């Protein structure tokens, strides 16, 4: 056995450390949210979605259809909870639909 200190970490731990160090968490989550959006909401809602942007823990969703925008605004809290659950943390504090 060697007397070297154990500085080993898993690949997952190393990637998470790198993401935190370079402050990539927000961009990574935004990318994941875009792919999750179509999965969770379905193709028809995804088709009316013009933009999805995460900024300072607020998720901004731009919807082209006024009736759909109104309908989704009633479910903002449910959308927030679903996405946070899939992301594995409380990354979204508020959902803004416009």
**For the segment 7-57, what is each residue's pLDDT rounded down to a tens digit?**
778 888 887 887 776 666 777 788 889 999 999 999 999 999 999 999 999
What's the token pair of residue 2? 């060697």
Residue 1 has pLDDT above 70, yes or no: no
Distance separating alpha carbons of residues 72 and 92, to the nearest angstrom: 16
- The pLDDT, as a whole number, for residue 6 is 65
What is the pTM assigned to this prediction?
A: 0.76
- The pLDDT, as a whole number, for residue 5 is 58
- Number of Cβ within a 10 Å radius of residue 43: 8
Strand partners, 97: 61
- The pLDDT, as a whole number, for residue 23 is 65
Q: What is the DSSP letter of 22?
A: T
More confidently predicted of 67 and 12: 67
């Amino acid at each position: 056995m060697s007397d070297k200190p154990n500085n080993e970490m898993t690949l997952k731990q190393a990637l998470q450390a790198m993401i935190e160090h370079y402050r990539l968490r927000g961009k990574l989550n935004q990318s994941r949210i875009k792919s999750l959006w179509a999965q969770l909401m379905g193709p028809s809602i995804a088709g009316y979605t013009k933009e999805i942007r995460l900024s300072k823990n607020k998720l901004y969703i731009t919807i082209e259809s006024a009736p759909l925008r109104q309908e989704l605004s009633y479910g903002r809290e449910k959308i927030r909870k679903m996405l946070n659950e899939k992301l594995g943390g409380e990354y979204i504090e508020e959902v803004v639909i416009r």
